[in-house]
Chain A
Amino acid sequence: MEKFYTRMGDGSVIELSESELKRDLEEGTRDAAERAKIPPLSEDDLRRLLEIYECPDKSVGVERGKEVILSYDSGTTKFNRANVSVSKLQSLQIYERMLGADTMEMGHMDYSYKPAKSIMWIEQPTLEQALLITIPALFYGAMPNLGLYTQPDGPCPNPMGLIPQGKISEARAAQEEMAEHAVKDMVYVGSVMYESGADGINFDTTAAAGDAEFLAALRAVEILRKKYPQMCIEVGMAGEFILGMHGELTYEGVRLAGLYPHKQVELMEKAGATIFGPAINTNTDKSCPWNVARAATFTKACVENSHLPIHANVGMGVGGIPVTETPPVDSVSRASKAMVEITRLDGL
């Protein structure tokens, strides 16, 4: 029986028969459909995915004419993490001139709004110089990262310490206070960077700390949209499901805990976002075909329910990409092609 080369969600190589591939694709889409109460992928979609995973080529790509726009979270930190000694300006020139970047992003190495706030006076002139010498649109980005607002590093009691003690109302109050601080920092950084000339602001890995963080991002988007009607605001998520760490928070009458991407985007659109990025987490115990079918199911429902351009997160550990620091080209190119062609994405 013919076997097809693929990988598990942790990147390790496996070989699957056609029937095993079909089973994984069907189980992946069913898992997403049942969790989010959305339609599973169609027979045509599953057949297309099967073709992608049966293709023996090392690397694959979308059909000519189906190319999409790439945006980058944490753009200028990536080369430094690989210990390549280049400045932010040089990083952006590499993105522009060597990597075919459709858009670019500048960010602080400590990629959260709270630490970025205190070095804005250094970041602003760097961004201003970058805008003079580069051509593609330039975002400034960081993470809302509510966790940074807890003691001892931040001003608020730690809800994760309060919950085990049964102090639920205190934990909720702490999260509400953390969200207020985060909104101020996001609005401050977004404002100064836009007033320095940035084309847009990116809220990356949003709702990593749950529903209070998602609410903070919604409020920050709302304020920035009122202040700067022309500003591009991109919101990328941390995971497919908003954790109910608070549990009672709402926006426009909608409870935030438990929302899946097709509902998350509705609220971000109301708040005033320009581009939305759903993030579907990779399960390392399942195969890449299972993970891509699952990610495509959530993302397709999000695209179909959105008036905004959708740039899905397809980076390490999300969007069907294995959780490994050196993502294999075979897995990444298959996830890239599958997510674009199956879900009709506007970008990645």
Chain B
Amino acid sequence: MGDPLGMHITHSIASGMGGMRTAGDLVGRMQMSRGMKIKEAKEYVASKLKVSVSDLADPVVMSEVREDLDIGRVNALPRIAKGIDAKFRIADLLDIEINCVNMFKDRINRKLRV
């Protein structure tokens, strides 16, 4: 039903990785794109980000890492990657295919018909 505090917020605090406050979105992408179990997905992302596995769910560490890598952060400051441009960089960083990024590339590479 519709009780985000009782359900979404509680789960997020009790057991969630934290989404893009941390590296939760990146670990989630490895489960989705490669079918990795949680341990393998965390180790893969940690190696690509050059951080420890325990840092992945730390919002202070990951905010700095995300800013350095320019892969999007919760506080969207001027001139940092947002939305699709962050996903271009995430696809490169994690060495994965992101469906909408590939489609975006196809669209901008189409020749203009005049």
The complex places the Cα of A135 from the Cα of B22 at a distance, in Å, of: 13
From residue 48 to 76 of chain A, which have CB atoms closer than 8 A to chain B?
59-62, 64-72
Q: Is A328 an interface residue (CB 8 A)?
A: yes
The digit string for B52-95, where 1 denotes a CB below 8 A from any CB of A, is: 01100100000000000001101000000011101100100000
CB of B78, distance to nearest CB on chain A (Å): 16
A78 x B2 contact (CB < 8 A): yes
B25 x A336 contact (CB < 8 A): no
The contact of B3 among A133, A197, A308, A326, by CB within 8 Å, is A326
The contact of A316 among B1, B25, B84, by CB within 8 Å, is B1
CB of B22, distance to nearest CB on chain A (Å): 8
CB of B89, distance to nearest CB on chain A (Å): 10
A315 x B7 contact (CB < 8 A): yes
Residue in B closest to A314 when the chains form the complex, CB atoms: B11
Contacts A97-B74, A103-B25 known; A347 to B99 CB distance under 8 Å? no
A67 x B10 contact (CB < 8 A): no
B6 x A327 contact (CB < 8 A): yes
The contact of B11 among A84, A199, A274, A332, by CB within 8 Å, is A332
The contact of B15 among A96, A97, A101, A340, by CB within 8 Å, is A340
Q: Is A122 an interface residue (CB 8 A)?
A: no
B4 x A64 contact (CB < 8 A): no
Contacts of A126 in B (CB 8 A): none
CB of A34, distance to nearest CB on chain B (Å): 28
B99 x A100 contact (CB < 8 A): no
The complex places the Cα of A180 from the Cα of B100 at a distance, in Å, of: 30
Residue in A closest to B27 when the chains form the complex, CB atoms: A69
Residue in B closest to A83 when the chains form the complex, CB atoms: B2
Contacts of A200 in B (CB 8 A): 32
Q: Is B51 an interface residue (CB 8 A)?
A: no
Contacts of A97 in B (CB 8 A): 20, 74
Q: Is A1 an interface residue (CB 8 A)?
A: no
Q: How many residues of A contact B (CB 8 A)?
A: 68
Contacts of B57 in A (CB 8 A): 64-65, 67
Which of A62, A99, A329, A340 has the largest count of B CB atoms less than 10 A from its CB?
A99
From residue 294 to 348 of chain A, which have CB atoms closer than 8 A to chain B?
307-309, 314-316, 321, 325-329, 332-333, 336-337, 340, 345-348
Contacts of A21 in B (CB 8 A): none
Q: Is B33 an interface residue (CB 8 A)?
A: yes
A336 x B11 contact (CB < 8 A): yes
The contact of A199 among B13, B84, B98, by CB within 8 Å, is B98
Contacts of B100 in A (CB 8 A): 128, 131-132, 197-199
Contacts A69-B27, A346-B37 known; A333 to B16 CB distance under 8 Å? no
Contacts A230-B97, A309-B31 known; A70 to B14 CB distance under 8 Å? no
Q: Is B47 an interface residue (CB 8 A)?
A: no
The complex places the Cα of A68 from the Cα of B104 at a distance, in Å, of: 30
The complex places the Cα of A198 from the Cα of B33 at a distance, in Å, of: 12
Contacts of A101 in B (CB 8 A): 8, 12, 19, 24-25
The contact of A309 among B22, B38, B99, by CB within 8 Å, is B38
A332 x B7 contact (CB < 8 A): yes
**Which 9 pairs of residues, A with B, have the shortest CB-CB distance?**
A81-B2, A197-B100, A82-B2, A102-B24, A336-B14, A232-B32, A136-B25, A327-B6, A131-B100
| Interface residues, chain A, with chain B CB atoms under 8 Å away | 59-62, 64-72, 77-84, 95-97, 99-103, 128, 131-137, 194, 197-200, 230-232, 274-275, 307-309, 314-316, 321, 325-329, 332-333, 336-337, 340, 345-348
